Structure 1
Amino acid sequence: MSKKAKPRVYDKAGKQVKVADKSWYTLQASGEAEQRNIEIFVYGEIGAWGVTANQFVQDLRAMDDGASPVIVAFNSIGGDLFDGLAIHNALSRLGERCTGRIDALAASAASVAVCGAHRVVIAANAMLMIHNPYTFTGGDAEDFRRVADVLDQTLEAIIAAYKAKAPDIDEAELRRMVNAETWLTANEAVALGLADEVGDGLKVSACLGQGSVLQRFQNAPPELLAQLDEEPDVEPKEPDIQPDPAPVLDAAGLALLVTKSCAAAGISNLVEPLLATTKLESEAVVTAALTRAKALHGLCVAARLPELTGEFIAAGLDEAAVRARLFDKLVSSGGGFEINNSLPLDNDPEPTVKAKQVDTQAIWSSRQAAHTGTSKGARA
């Protein structure tokens, strides 16, 4: 399955949780202590580019009291298979007080994760998609044979996750549907046992700003893809009472703002590149740069390359460009392979087996040594 803004934790009883395009997931606790409900929104990709299993479990642990009902709402195209399996098991350990809710789409790793809930409610107009695991790698024939074996093993983990939710499902038919990349409607998911109840339909954007990723799948329903062209609904805003304008900060004040904000966010190492790139032009420029720096820092930390954040800020890169740079770094590092239960985008380059790079320096040194030896022999 595949590809962080820092999660936002809400504790606002009775208020709607608004999930913006760039919010990966949110948590909220509502009600009094005796009648508390915990609601988690997994809206976005699962894994290093979205919500990791580690972040999910840590945030849930911080909010869970061991007794309150937990509702986990999904609208996700999936992501990293093993993070999906870990979330699946975390939900399973909650027992009967856990309900999984599919608000629009639970595809790939998200379908594995949601099946860990004791009860799954799928919206009438939502879908659940199941398919084979996918990955990329490079190497010789033995490397590819080893990766193929790993993919076969991970397929068994996927099948086990579905069968844990639907023990009476026909396994041969389940394997056929997984292999064929099957998109299930709400009624079909309930009929198979992968969901327990059809709930009310909701109007939720395809994947909250990541809808284009749906194009990587082979059999994505046309009606789901059509949502990508729809204009987003804009809720009317109530007029705000404008407070008195804040005082305009001078250069010294802006520099202090950068320093304090970076210290509070734990990114004091980024003060210098931020001062250099913003040139302390205005508070708006500085605030925007700080927001971007925090986002880029989160991406680099997720990729285990935090030392590159300053370089990316100095280069003026946005989040999309940094994701691309980090992806190239991870793929070219040769540190192994990643199980990815999603298919590549149509415009992604085909995976290739790269030959070992020629070490020109070593060859030159070897020739120089040989030439020196020959010369000495001739003189003798």
Structure 2
Amino acid sequence: MSKKTIPRIYDKAGKPVKVADKSWYTLQASGEAEQRSIEIFVYGEIGAWGVTANQFVLDLRAMDDGTSPIIVAFNSIGGDLFDGLAIHNALSRLGERCTGRIDALAASAASVAVCGAHRVVIAANAMLMIHNPYTFSGGDAEDFRRVADVLDQTLEAIIAAYKSKAPDIDEVELRRMVHAETWLTANEAVELGLADEVGDGLKVQACLGQGSVLQRFQNAPAELLAQLDDEPETEPTEPVDPPAPVLDAAKLALMVTQGCAAAGISNLVEPLLATTKLESEAVIQAALTKAKALHSLCVAARLPELTGEFIRAGLDEAAVRARLFDKLVGKGGGFEIDNSLPLEDDPAPAIKAKQADPQAIWASRQAAQNGTSKGART
């Protein structure tokens, strides 16, 4: 029997793309002759909160046979620049076998990544966004000078990535557009050489549940932001059976315990019992799903001990990400380059001067005076 094998790699962040068996990799039999192709979906953020370059390369290596055509579909607001550059280089090494496809949006680091493909097809209603690298940091004047130098260097890496795809592009104009945060339509991207072909338009919900992040950019098109208010399309609901009788408290508590054990989060039993108040099976299932997601975020940030605290506080995933980011930045253990921008309501980093210690000052003065008096009597 002839087979067309379509392995798919999905981003863990946001809502997954619908697939029949809800798995990352699916096999589909079709076609007259045997042909194998690989289709990869990068839908969501790039980096620690979504699909990392390491995960991408390992999954691709496991599926690639060295001869099959590869299509990499993007719908991403970007994220970590260095992961985007690594994905760019991984696609570039595939040569002519690789086609990049922009299904809705390739912004920021995603625009860098897709330009590594030999051929880029952008949907007629999709967009590609380019802008300067961005980061958070802390420290003294020398630290900030060093960070500025690194940002200048990473900008050169971004320019090189775009010029590898469009070698004839005017570099002065390219730098101007990057500095201005430029949103390119499909035709504009093709005209500049950052894409090769305009494909059929698709209706894809903005960034699969992460569209609100678009508000962090300064020049996001109004028509794109308007999609954030669209109600998601839902399939007609079928009649449902009457609700099952409410379980007693002991069975609900056992459900929490068993659910946590199965997910490897037994340390979260107590906060889940406290926050769900064992109201119903539906409440507990929702709380378990949320706890798994928050635990994954905390593990990614290497702060798993904070998960229980966030659950007790009733924080959602967006709030937890913000708290974890503040924790990581506050550690002062260096910085990471990320060419995504903060939300407008993100607090500005506080700069605290060292507070004076009156008691220490008084003690040092007294010691100095005592020393002077003793010297005079000698």
- TM-score (structure 1 length as normaliser): 0.81
**More displaced, 55-64 or 262-271?**
55-64
Structure 1 residue 22 corresponds to structure 2 residue 14: yes
Deviation per residue, 1:83-132 (Å, 9 max, x gap): 11122122223333322111111111110011122221100111111111
Aligned equivalent of 1:232: 231
Is the 1:108–1:342 Cα contact (8 Å) retained in structure 2? yes
- Within 5 Å, give how 1:244-255 maps onto structure 2: 249-255=247-253
Match of 1:355 among 352, 356, 363: 352
- Displacement of 1:295: 0.7
- Within 5 Å, give how 1:1-380 maps onto structure 2: 22-23=14-15, 27-32=24-29, 34-229=34-229, 231-237=230-236, 239=238, 249-351=247-349, 354-358=351-355, 364=359
Q: Distance in 2 between matches of 1:272 and 1:28?
A: 36
Q: Distance in 2 between matches of 1:13 and 1:272?
A: 45
Q: 1:161 to 1:18 in 2, by over 3 A?
A: closer
Deviation per residue, 1:162-198 (Å, 9 max, x gap): 1222223232332222222222111221122211111
Is the 1:127–1:186 Cα contact (8 Å) retained in structure 2? yes
Is the 1:95–1:118 Cα contact (8 Å) retained in structure 2? yes
Q: Distance in 2 between matches of 1:250 and 1:92?
A: 58
Letter in 1 for 2:126: A
SS of the counterpart of 2:120? strand
Is the 1:46–1:110 Cα contact (8 Å) retained in structure 2? yes
- Displacement of 1:331: 2.2
- Displacement of 1:253: 3.4
Letter in 2 for 1:22: G
Q: Distance in 2 between matches of 1:301 and 1:134?
A: 24
- Displacement of 1:356: 4.3
Which protein has greater RCO, CA pairs closer than 8 Å, 6+ apart?
1
Q: 1:278 to 1:233 in 2, by over 3 A?
A: closer
Deviation per residue, 1:241-267 (Å, 9 max, x gap): 86x987864444333333333233222
Q: Distance in 2 between matches of 1:240 and 1:70?
A: 42
Q: Distance in 2 between matches of 1:256 and 1:94?
A: 51
Larger Rg: 2
Letter in 1 for 2:215: Q
Q: Distance in 2 between matches of 1:254 and 1:22?
A: 28
- Displacement of 1:145: 1.4
Q: Distance in 1 between matches of 2:71 and 2:353?
A: 50
Identical counterparts, % of pairs: 77
- TM-score (structure 2 length as normaliser): 0.82
- Displacement of 1:82: 1.0
Q: Distance in 2 between matches of 1:76 and 1:116?
A: 15
Is the 2:5–2:37 Cα contact (8 Å) retained in structure 1? no
SS of the counterpart of 2:202? coil
SS of the counterpart of 2:206? coil
Aligned residues: 362
